[in-house]
Amino acid sequence: MISKTNQRKWGASLSYIQMALNIIIGFIYTPIMIRLLGDSEYGLYNTVASTIAMLSVLNLGFNSSYVRYYTKYKEENDKESIAKLNGLFLIVLSVLGLVALVCGLFLTFNLDLVFDEGLTAQEYEIAKVLMFLLTLNLALSFPMGTFSSIISTHENYIVLQLLGMLKTVVGPLVTIPILLMGFRSIAIVSVTLGVSLITDTVYFIYVRFKLKQKFIFHSFEKGIFKSLFIYTSFIAISIIVDQINLNVDKFLLGRFKGTIAVSIYSVGYSLYSYYSTFSSSISGVFTPKVHKIVVSSNNETNLKSELTSIFIRIGRIQFLIVALIASGMVFFGKPFIHYWAGEGYEESYYVMLLLVLPSSIALIQKLGLEIQRALNRHKFRSITYLIMAVGNLILSIFLCQKYGAIGATIGTAISLLLAQGLTMNIYYHKKCYIDIISFWKNILRMSLGLILPIGAGSILNYFVDLYNIWYLFGSIIIYSIVYCISMWFIGMNDYEKNLIKKPIKKIFNFIKYKFIIRKKNI
């Protein structure tokens, strides 16, 4: 058996491998989609996908709340309550999946609610099929999410990440040949549905026969429904806000400006999504640990010390990744998009930056959300984000009609900066036992390591023709090397350096050992 600590280490490592695969495949897959589907159908596909994605709010945050109740029963070693919890969540999520199915089918047969005008009769038929298949995929994901939540709560991260990697790789590998054979967006969604069904089936088998989890569908704990819905209601608000901030722009652009504007936005958003996923992966691995700290802490002083320590430690690691990618996007994003997406996507660069830069604060503080949930203090975040999301929606409706994709993104950028950046940092410090001043002192000290890379990036932009593809990739490599050297000597502490040194040392010792054994045999 692999220990929980090693599960977290391997889980974090595999999550970054998965993210790397996702980005590499995405970089190859997206331009193929754009070129083979065409700008209009690519925009159509993204509009439909974003519309259905907004229905995921019906999940209401139940997957997140499972961790809280499981941790409580686990501490009490109450196996029967855990089995009842499993049954309760499967019932609730199945009902919500059915609701999502009904809502999705309603939209499928009322597409005028999504697309105001501008689609041909053939495009309407394509959109209808896409909507139906994506609705089916979403509806099934609700009850099946119970099993991935159980695996995550048991801290079996290796299984989750390996299946995630399989899903990341298999989908595009199957889809690309199908696209090259002449099939289009409907084939893409069909493959996505098929791969999801396979991975969800594996999750189910693992939970039932490996983890041997039981499901009791009756005699639930008195008051658990009320407690559960109160806890998840504010998580649900948070999910709704996230969907407004990240998906409503495509919906509005599709309705007011057409599918081409959606394509421009989607290219910038795709690069932003790769960027944000990197930071999210490592914080997710520490979710059960955060809940254990909160449950087991016996006084506020210890709680503040432990939460601040893990918040700073993970935040610093996230900053190292976030700062490299975000600064690289600033210097090299425009010529990269030129080669990656093709002509006509110049505005996508500004869409990308308007999403990437304001969100960077929240990305290095991603663990803060799990701390709030563990403390059951996520209500304030939900209400704050809801207010900002309404403001974002109003701004985006006005700005997208006037300025297209860039206008829609400005509303989102303002929302991200004010809500995630300013307001939540004050709340972390006041109510969540996190010394946010110490956190930012750490980040500012690390930021000194950015001085040399920024200088190098500015020089490369001024003197090098970055629209020559070889010069572009050469410049990215040079910039990355300068960044790593500068951060090693200026930004990183001993703990962070050891995270790199120890694996390298183990590999070196392994090679050395193999060489000695081989030499003795000779």
Phi, psi of 454 (to 5 degrees): -65, -40
Higher pLDDT, 206 or 14: 206
| Residue 200 in tokens | 């969800």
Tokens 């989607």 belong to 266
429-454 pLDDT, tens digit each: 988 889 999 999 999 999 999 999 99
Q: Could you write out the three-class secondary structure of 320-358?
A: HHHHHHHHHHHHHHHHHHHHHCCCCCCHHHHHHHHHHHH
Q: Percent of the chain beyond pLDDT 90? A: 21
Q: Terminal CA-to-CA distance of the chain, rounded, Å?
A: 36
Q: Which of 79-93, 132-146, 420-434 has the lowest mean pLDDT?
A: 79-93
Mean pLDDT of 21-45: 80
How many CA atoms are closer than 13 Å to the CA of 289, on its beta-carbon side? 18
pLDDT beyond 90 at 488:
yes
229-276 pLDDT, tens digit each: 776 776 677 677 777 766 778 878 877 887 788 888 988 988 898 888
pLDDT beyond 90 at 188:
no
pLDDT beyond 80 at 356:
yes
How many CA atoms are closer than 13 Å to the CA of 122, on its beta-carbon side? 4
What integer pLDDT is reported at residue 441 of this predicted model?
A: 95
In DSSP notation, 268-336 reads HHHHHHHHHHHHHHHHHHTHHHHHHHHHH--SHHHHHHHHHHHHHHHHHHHHHHHHHHHHHHHHHHHHH
In this structure, the number of other CB atoms found within 10 A of the CB of residue 104 comes to: 22
pLDDT beyond 70 at 415:
yes
Q: Percent of the chain beyond pLDDT 70? A: 89
pLDDT beyond 90 at 390:
no
What integer pLDDT is reported at residue 408 of this predicted model?
A: 87
In DSSP notation, 415-480 reads HIIIIIIIIHHHHHHHHSS--HHHHHHHHHHHHGGGHHHHHHHHHHHHHS-TTSHHHHHHHHHHHH
Q: Which of 84-88, 292-296, 323-327 has the lowest mean pLDDT?
A: 292-296
Cβ 127 vs Cβ 119: under 8 Å: yes
What integer pLDDT is reported at residue 285 of this predicted model?
A: 65
Cβ 179 vs Cβ 126: under 8 Å: no
Instruction: Write the Ramachandran bin of 481: left for phi over 0, alpha for psi from -120 to 50, otherwise beta.
Output: alpha
d(CA 272, CA 123): 28
Cβ 317 vs Cβ 487: under 8 Å: no
Cβ 171 vs Cβ 24: under 8 Å: no
d(CA 390, CA 289): 34
pLDDT category of residue 6 using cuts at 50, 70 and 90: low
Burial of 36 (0-12, 13-18, 19+ CB in 10 A): middle
Tokens 């006084």 belong to 299
Phi, psi of 237 (to 5 degrees): -60, -40
Instruction: Give the residue among 148, 449, 161 at the shortest CA–CA distance from 319.
Output: 449
What integer pLDDT is reported at residue 119 of this predicted model?
A: 67
Across the chain, mean pLDDT equals: 82
What integer pLDDT is reported at residue 63 of this predicted model?
A: 65
pLDDT beyond 80 at 460:
yes
Higher pLDDT, 227 or 389: 389
Mean pLDDT of 387-413: 86
d(CA 271, CA 409): 14
In DSSP notation, 154-206 reads TT-HHHHHHHHHHHHHHHHHHHHHHHHTT--HHHHHHHHHHHHHHHHHHHHHI
What integer pLDDT is reported at residue 445 of this predicted model?
A: 94
| Residue 255 in tokens | 């309705």
Cβ 215 vs Cβ 80: under 8 Å: no
Cβ 69 vs Cβ 114: under 8 Å: no
Q: Which of 68-77, 160-169, 328-337, 409-418 has the highest mean pLDDT?
A: 328-337
106-141 pLDDT, tens digit each: 988 887 777 766 567 787 888 888 889 999 988 988
Cβ 261 vs Cβ 253: under 8 Å: yes
Higher pLDDT, 114 or 420: 420
d(CA 93, CA 425): 33
Instruction: Give the residue among 57, 44, 184 at the shortest CA–CA distance from 114.
Output: 44
Instruction: Write the Ramachandran bin of 258: left for phi over 0, alpha for psi from -120 to 50, otherwise beta.
Output: left
306-341 pLDDT, tens digit each: 899 999 998 999 899 899 999 999 999 999 998 888
Q: Which of 109-118, 205-214, 299-308, 424-433 has the lowest mean pLDDT?
A: 109-118
What integer pLDDT is reported at residue 58 of this predicted model?
A: 72
In this structure, the number of other CB atoms found within 10 A of the CB of residue 465 comes to: 10
Cβ within 8 Å of residue 29, ≥6 positions away: 172, 175, 176
What integer pLDDT is reported at residue 354 of this predicted model?
A: 93
